[in-house]
């Protein structure tokens, strides 16, 4: 399997987009509080832990983008690529769709900064996330099309009856969660999260019913990843704050539903002869003459 130019370009752009955020977090972790007017707040153990965690999350995105541009990335186990990217693109999708909509409707006012963080920090962070999300998704699309062409084209096994039961049940919960998020939304990204929840349930049901259009796969992927990723992040923040609210219940259901859709979707994609396999055959080598078999075999 060769590395296509489109995948290389998208991966390089994604890597470049992570650098401003990683640099900023690294400066804060080492005691250089650029863009911060109250350094004492960032020196607490809670903030140090939060900055370390978010630095690690974005570092994973950098490694994934690198994997999409290198030959060794083509031989990684499927779960090692798909799992972090599912969560990552789910988290970034709300920002990618919500930030441009916010700018169109409200201008740059929401990114004007506050009494703690300068306005340019918000612009650097959310601008970088937006570019990173688009580029990372594009790089993965090229990667998936090259490595798993059958799955990318919708040629995988027929869903068993249990998948239909799961799909209908998940759709009902997605509607409840999505409507609740829309009702509680105070900002455009929160509206986007509600729409993604609805789209995730509908997209997965369409796939199970045999409608293998790529748009349904994308909707199911982003919707389930967004529900799981944001619910996990939000619940952790809420538990630290220790203030129980109705949002706790909504996020808990979002977390469980996103996880169910993710697991069920993985089973669907690996059905019908193993369309998405864990790794390449250990006997195959790089794409060059003399291989025991071409590197693309085993991934159809």
Contact at 8 Å (CB) between 148 and 276? yes
Mean pLDDT of 172-197: 92
- pLDDT at position 186 is 84
- Closest CA relative to residue 121, chosen from 51, 181, 43: 51
Report d(CA 74, CA 71) in Å as an integer. 6
Whether the predicted pLDDT of 295 surpasses 60:
no
What is the dihedral sign for C-alpha 263, 264, 265, 267?
A: positive
The tokens for 161 are 């009856």
- pLDDT at position 1 is 56
| pLDDT tens-digit map of 235-257 | 887 776 666 677 788 999 999 99
Mean pLDDT of 64-82: 91
User: Does pTM surpass 0.75?
Assistant: yes
- pLDDT at position 243 is 62
- The structural domains of the chain, with segments of one domain joined by +, span 5-147, 161-274
- Confidence bin at 275 (pLDDT 50/70/90): very low
Whether the predicted pLDDT of 93 surpasses 70:
yes
| pLDDT tens-digit map of 119-142 | 899 889 999 999 999 999 999 999
74 alpha-carbon distance from chain centroid: 19
| pLDDT tens-digit map of 4-31 | 788 999 999 999 999 999 999 999 999 9
Give the CA distances from residue 80 to residues 37, 75, 116, 222, 275, in Å, rounded to whole numbers and listed in that order. Answer: 39, 10, 37, 18, 16
Whether the predicted pLDDT of 106 surpasses 80:
yes
């Amino acid at each position: 399997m060769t590395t296509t130019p489109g995948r290389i370009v998208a991966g390089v752009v994604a890597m470049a987009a992570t650098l401003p955020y990683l640099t900023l977090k690294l400066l804060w972790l080492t005691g250089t509080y650029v863009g911060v007017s109250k350094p004492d707040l960032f020196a607490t153990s809670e903030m140090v832990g939060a900055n370390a965690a978010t630095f690690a999350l974005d570092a994973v995105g950098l490694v994934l983008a690198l994997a999409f541009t290198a030959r060794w990335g083509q031989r990684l186990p499927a779960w090692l690529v798909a799992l972090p990217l599912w969560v990552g693109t789910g988290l970034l999708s709300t920002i990618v769709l919500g930030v441009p909509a916010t700018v169109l409707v409200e201008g740059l006012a929401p990114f004007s900064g506050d009494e703690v963080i300068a306005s340019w920090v918000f612009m650097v962070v959310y601008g970088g996330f937006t570019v990173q999300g688009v580029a990372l998704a594009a790089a993965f699309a090229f990667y998936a099309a090259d490595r798993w062409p059958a799955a990318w084209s919708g040629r995988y096994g027929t869903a068993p009856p249990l998948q239909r039961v799961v799909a209908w049940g998940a759709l009902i919960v997605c509607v409840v969660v999505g409507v609740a998020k829309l009702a509680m939304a105070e900002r455009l990204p929160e509206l986007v999260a509600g729409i993604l929840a609805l789209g995730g349930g509908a997209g997965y049901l369409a796939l199970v019913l045999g409608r293998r259009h790529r748009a349904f796969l994308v909707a199911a992927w982003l919707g389930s990843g967004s529900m799981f990723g944001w619910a996990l992040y939000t619940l952790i923040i809420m538990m630290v704050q220790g203030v129980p609210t109705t949002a706790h219940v909504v996020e808990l259901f979002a977390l469980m539903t996103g996880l169910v859709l993710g697991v069920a979707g993985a089973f669907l994609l690996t059905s019908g002869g193993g369309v998405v396999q864990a790794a390449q055959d250990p006997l195959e080598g790089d794409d060059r003459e003399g291989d025991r078999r071409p590197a693309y075999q085993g991934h159809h």
